[in-house]
Amino acid sequence: MVTKTKRSADSASSSGAPHLSGTVKESAQQIWLAGLGAFAKAQEEGGKVFETLVKEGTSIQRKTQAAAEEKISEATSRMANMATDISSKASGQWDKLENIFEDRVSKALKKLGVPSAKDIDALMARIDELNRNVERLGAKRAAKSAPAKKAAAKKPAAKRSPARKSA
């Protein structure tokens, strides 16, 4: 194309202006057609390039998504392990704190003279034992006094004097 333009310019200088305008017109026409051809080629190959880019993008997205899911799974596992560790440590600390609290409350109640649950249980056991002893003694007395009551019932009742009634 450059060579055509040089020839055109040489011939235009020798033959005149009408030939020069024709050459410029012809060059503009060729440039226009070259632009249209490039545009058509870009459109044709642009679709193919676009489809190729979409496929590559889809592939990269899948790889990225798989990597992200793997990292999320790994992070979730780590967090679960950390939570378990923290929970067990906290539980141990909580048990220690609870024991300290119970000991201090127990000491304070003891200083105030409030009986403990063990003291109350011991008293209840002692009361139960005493009740059993009382019941046994009552049963023995009832057995001994039953024949005496029968003998007393056979004797006639003594008459009371009127003075005793008023008193």
Q: Per residue, what are the HEC states of the chain?
A: CHHHHHHHHHHHHHHCHHHHHHHHHHHHHHHHHHHHHHHHHHHHHHHHHHHHHHHHHHHHHHHHHHHHHHHHHHHHHHHHHHHHHHHHHHHHHHHHHHHHHHHHHHHHHHHHCCCCHHHHHHHHHHHHHHHHHHHHHHHHHHHHHHHHHHHHHHCCCCCCCHHHHHC
pLDDT at residue number 159: 55
pLDDT band at 63 (very low <50, low <70, confident <90, very high): very high
**pTM, two decimal places:** 0.34
- In this prediction, what percent of the chain has a pLDDT beyond 90? 29
pLDDT band at 128 (very low <50, low <70, confident <90, very high): very high
